[in-house]
Amino acid sequence: MRLSYPLLISTSLITLLSACASTPPEINTETASVFSTLPQATPFSHILGTSFRGQLSYKNNQAYFTPCDDPEQYPIQTEEPLAEIYQQIGNSQSEPVYIEFAGEISFTDKKSSSSVVTRIDKVHHMALAKSSLQCAKAVDSFSFKATGDMPYWRINIHENQLYFAAKTSNQSYTITNSQIETDRQHVLHATDDNDQRLTLKIEPGQCYLSDHKEYWGYTTKVESVDGQFFGCGELGELDNDQSYTGEYLSQAIQQQEINLSLNDNHTVVFQQGELSEQNIKTGFWKSNTPDSVVVMLTKEGDKNIREELVFKREGLSLICTEINNNNVLTPLEHPISFDKMNAKHGDIDSETIQVTRQLSPQQLDAPNQIDVEVQKAVRQYFKIHRTDPKNTRFNSVRFDLNGDGKEEAIVLLDWCSSNGCEMLVFEQKDKGLVFSSRVSRIQAPIEVAQTQHFSWQDLLVKKNNQWLQLESDGLSYPLKVSDAKAIDAPLQSTGVLLFAQGRPTTWFSIK
């Protein structure tokens, strides 16, 4: 499968559309020299200003971009200091890194080994592949996020909410304006429920987190009641094409149903006819103007192609009005209309990150031996809070809650009553465990749900004969179990049980 979702389009479609077309326009001799062996009436459109993500690699000092889930490598052209940024992140030129950038895709000269070339205008994020969620990370779960070290902190902005987390606390703030442009300095002000103010200063610029081998396209500064924090940031929703994404349906070609999918990663699915007879082409899409969509077809199997479909937007419909095949633009006498339908897999909450994880049922019991790394993390947590934990004991289990391949530590303290115990969650980072969440009065066992929010698995618990679902807000789980969402039954459980035997019978000293 190429470019996450392959572009499926039968050869008969181009043939039928061309047969319906009017006489091709005259050749423009001034531009024909660009492709000397091809007639040219109208240049191809460019896929402008789009944000892409995938892998960056080097071969013979030439940079290449490999989009998510696509094995094809496309040469890169850029005026950005790409090699300099890469050297700060990668260990060697043979090691690919994850990259997110704003740029443009254009057709190359037909004699080139690649059908398209990628131009990088601005690098938003770069990281070692092993330390990043890469293509599994959803960019629609935040409009901006930032993080920093010494001390560790992070921010997630979603719509008009700003979530701030440090080692000692998690706070939610309301902001008046969360729209962030790529080329400007911004100052955002936010206020929490206690009228405490937080100011976030955002400025485009090179920013590195050397400990995590990450590059970010923005520098950030936070001023709050907890002090000043400095770090890096990146955009999430990097363009305004979300209104175009979705499923479209047409029955205009030989009474055959045609399904058109415009995906949020700017890949396309065009499906016509029976599966066994489908021809597969791959490419990209972009709304270059408010009322048009351009689809570039770049590959047909292993063959490079140069075809372009031009759609006009009318309400919720897309109408194919023109075909550009090897720079010959052919208008259609009978345009093909595609009506927007509901999402193929049902409507999806934008806060739910679409990361498919195959989790096998398992029961994780409280161990009989102490986890020294967890003990150190809990001790540090109490130290930051200036609290003496000498009379507090703990036990813990390990499980990867956020799908990054590293096991978090889920800790129960012996602060227990009939209503449950105190729970701490520590996220596993390269340098160790970092505090993530605190949940009061939680009952064990705790079930891991199939659903996710902001890449973190939801948790299912039962209290007073009522099932509750704890969802991450991008920074932490709810502080109080009573704030969790009530559900009828844990129908979406993975079968993974944390503290499967219930409240631990063995406790360990923190000191």
For residue range 195-210, list pLDDT tens digits in order.
888 999 999 999 998 7
Name, in order, each residue with C-beta under 8 angstroms of 277's C-beta and a sequence gap of 6 or more.
10
Strand locations in 301-407 (E): 303-314, 317-325, 328-341, 362-364, 393-399
Most confident of 104-113, 329-338, 393-402, 416-425: 393-402
Give how far Cα 395 sits from Cα of 369, 418, 506, Å.
Answer: 9, 18, 7
Lowest mean pLDDT among 141-155, 336-350, 412-426, 456-470: 336-350
Confidence class for position 47, pLDDT limits 50, 70, 90:
low
> Among residues 1, 41, 5, 3, which one has the least CA distance to residue 261?
5
Q: For the residues 243-265, what does the mean pLDDT come to? A: 68
The proportion of the chain whose per-residue pLDDT surpasses 90, expressed as a percent, equals: 20
pLDDT at residue 397, as a whole number: 97
Q: Tell me which of 126-135, 197-206, 406-415 is least confident.
A: 126-135
* Section 84-100 average pLDDT: 80
Helices and strands in the chain: count of H runs, count of E runs: 3, 32
Q: Hey, which of 303-312, 375-384, 458-467 has the most confident mean pLDDT? A: 458-467
Task: Check residue 218 and give its pLDDT.
Answer: 92
Q: Which of 91-105, 229-243, 317-331, 447-461 has the largest mean confidence?
A: 447-461
Higher pLDDT, 133 or 53: 53
| Local structure of 273: helix, strand or coil | coil
Give the pLDDT confidence score for residue 14 in this predicted structure: 45
pLDDT at 383: 78
Around Cβ 385, how many Cβ atoms within 10 Å? 13
User: Is the pLDDT reported for residue 382 higher than 60?
Assistant: yes
Mean pLDDT across the chain: 76
Round to whole Å and give the CA distance between 20 and 62: 43
Closest C-alpha to 377, from 318, 447, 428: 428
- Decide if pLDDT at 270 tops 60: yes
Instruction: Provide the b/e sequence for 228-254 (b: ≥16 CB within 10 Å).
Output: ebebbbbbbbbbebeebbbbbebebbe
Query: How many CB atoms are located within 10 Å of the residue 141 CB?
Result: 22
pLDDT band at 111 (very low <50, low <70, confident <90, very high): low
Pick 97 or 70 by higher pLDDT.
97
Instruction: List the single range of 25-39, 115-129, 462-476, 482-496 with lowest mean pLDDT.
Output: 25-39
Kindly tell me if the per-residue pLDDT of 421 is higher than 70: yes
- The residues with which 122 forms a beta bridge, in sequence order, are 102
75 beta partners: 64
Task: Quote the pLDDT of residue 457.
Answer: 93
d(C-alpha 450, C-alpha 459), whole Å: 9
